[in-house]
C-alpha cells in the first residue's frame, strides 16, 4: 500500500499515543489532508542513515492551531510496516510518501510470562527508587512500558521488528535480567563503600600460629 510519510528519528509502538508539534508547511498540509480525507500516514524510523521500518499512524485530534499555522496534534500508532520504496515528494503534494508492507503482529502470550516481565519491571523500579503504578497483567503487552525500562534507541528498534508477543517478551526479559544484575551490583558496591568508611573492630592476626 502507498501512504504519506512523516520520517522521524523517533520510535513509536502500536497502541501508543503520538503527540506531534507540526511546524513545517509540508506536514501542515499532511495533517490537513488527514483531517479532510481521513487518511493515515506512516512514521518511518530514521536510524543509521536509513529507513526500513516504521509505524502507521492515525490522526485523533488537532489540539491547538497557532496563528502561524503550526499545530499540536495527537495521533495513535496502529501497525508496524516495512518500507519498500520511498518518494521524497508525492506528485501534487509537499510531503513524502512511500510503498509499505504492513506486518502482521500477534499479542498472545501466557499470563505467567507477562507476570514475570511485570515483576522484573517492579524490581527494576525498586532498585532505581522510582515509584511505579500497579500494572494490570490483563492489559499489559510488550509495548506497554517499552519506553520506560531503559532500552536504547537501537534496542527499541529491534523490539519494533519482532512480530510475535512471546519473542518480544523474551527480548524484554533478557534486557531486564541484565539491567537488574548490573544495578544490583552497583547497589552492593555502594553499600560496601559506605561500610568501609565506618570504624570497625578487626581481629589482628596471631603470628605465633602462622607456619612459614
Closest by CA to 42, choosing from 32, 56, 30, is 56
Which are the contacts of 57, defined by CB distance < 8 A and separation ≥ 6?
6, 12, 18, 40, 41, 42, 43, 75, 76, 77, 78
- Domains in the chain, ordered, with CATH? 2-102 (2.30.130.40), 111-195 (no CATH)
Find out whether 127 and 187 touch, Cβ atoms under 8 Å: yes
100 has which bridge partners? 83
What is the spatial distance between Cα 18 and Cα 35, in angstroms, rounded to a whole number? 16
Q: pLDDT at position 203, please?
A: 59
Tell me: the pLDDT tens digits for 51-81?
Answer: 999 999 999 999 999 999 999 999 999 999 9
Helix (H) or strand (E) holding 192, with range, is helix 165-195
With a cut of 70, which residues of the chain have pLDDT below it?
Answer: 190-212
User: What pLDDT is attached to residue 87?
Assistant: 95
Q: What is the pLDDT of residues 127-155, one digit of tens each?
A: 888 898 899 999 999 999 999 999 999 99
pLDDT attached to residue 198: 54
pLDDT given for residue 96 in this prediction: 96
> pLDDT at position 195, please?
58
User: Smallest Cα–Cα separation from 12: which of 37, 36, 45?
Assistant: 45
Cα separation of 210 and 111, whole Å?
60
Amino acid at each position: 500500500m502507498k501512504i504519506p510519510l512523516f520520517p522521524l528519528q523517533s520510535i513509536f509502538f502500536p497502541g501508543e499515543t503520538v503527540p506531534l508539534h507540526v511546524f513545517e508547511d509540508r506536514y501542515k498540509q499532511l495533517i490537513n489532508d488527514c483531517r479532510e480525507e481521513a487518511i493515515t500516514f506512516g512514521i518511518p524510523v530514521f536510524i543509521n542513515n536509513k529507513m526500513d521500518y516504521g509505524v502507521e499512524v492515525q490522526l485523533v485530534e488537532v489540539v491547538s492551531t497557532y496563528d502561524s499555522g503550526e499545530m499540536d496534534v495527537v495521533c495513535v500508532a496502529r501497525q508496524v510496516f516495512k518500507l519498500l520504496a520511498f518518494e521524497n515528494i508525492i506528485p501534487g503534494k509537499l510531503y513524502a510518501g512511500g510503498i509499505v508492507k504492513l506486518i502482521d503482529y500477534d499479542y498472545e502470550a501466557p499470563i505467567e510470562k507477562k507476570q514475570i516481565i511485570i515483576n522484573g519491571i517492579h524490581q527494576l523500579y525498586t532498585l532505581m527508587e522510582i515509584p511505579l503504578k500497579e500494572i494490570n497483567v490483563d492489559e499489559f503487552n510488550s509495548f506497554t512500558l517499552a519506553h520506560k525500562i531503559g532500552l536504547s534507541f537501537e534496542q527499541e528498534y529491534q523490539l519494533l521488528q519482532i512480530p510475535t508477543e512471546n519473542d518480544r517478551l523474551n527480548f524484554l526479559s533478557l534486557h531486564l535480567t541484565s539491567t537488574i544484575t548490573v544495578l544490583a551490583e552497583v547497589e552492593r558496591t555502594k553499600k560496601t563503600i559506605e561500610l568501609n568508611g565506618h570504624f570497625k573492630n578487626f581481629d589482628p592476626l596471631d603470628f605465633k600460629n602462622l607456619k612459614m
